[in-house]
Amino acid sequence: MARVTRAAYVEAFAAVAGRPLIQLPQMAGRSESEIFFDALALNGVDVRADSEAERLLEPFSAELATALQTRRDELNTQGQLLPGAAEALAAVAKLDGAVQSVLTGNSRPTAVLKLCAFDLDGFVDFDIGGYGSEAYPKGTLLRVARQRAAEKHGVTFGEHATVYVADSPRDVDAARIGGARSLAVASGRASATELRDVGADAVLPDLADTAALMTLITQLTDAGR
């Protein structure tokens, strides 16, 4: 999926910036807005004020979603669904009062496309998510997403009622800043040891064991009762 995403970035950047994307910034673990602002600087786009860069972000996100839409079949064939991911989402959806969304570096249209490619979108409330096209640090974005959930569902989602399932030290830190519990999954670049060392509340090697995942989520949410 990374190769497909890079190709879409190249196409979208050229359409919005008016010049080719020669140098692609580091993408792993970063938000769409961070990547785009760095790409402007690295590729010599004359943005004289922060407001000008922000003005270009929305059309870039729209162009990126369009470029990915034309590559939807490639998302499915070149991407990889983590073992147990669909089963995990289905199991959590059955918990009484559970609401699932995403906190992602992708924009909302891109997140929808990627989850739709693997038929995971039916488990997710995209209205309350936090997205990389929003100019917030991830910890702040988590608080924003939780407030959206509270306003939509009329329920206060406190620290012990919110579990952030993620795979990087940066996400563990975002959970702490955003006032949520962190359940780290060592399915990315970080090892289980690294995730424990940065303070994850719980760690799993992967999502294959649905029962273990559900046990940890229950323990984390029961801890504050």
Q: Which segments of the chain have a pLDDT < 50?
A: none
Strands 202-204 and 181-185: parallel
Contacts of 120 (CB under 8 A, 6+ apart): 81, 85, 86, 89
pTM: 0.85
In contact, 201 and 174? CB cutoff 8 Å: no
Residue 115 Cα to chain centre, angstroms: 11
166-177 tens-digit pLDDT: 999 989 999 999
For 102-135, the pLDDT digits (tens) are: 999 888 988 998 999 899 999 999 999 999 888 7
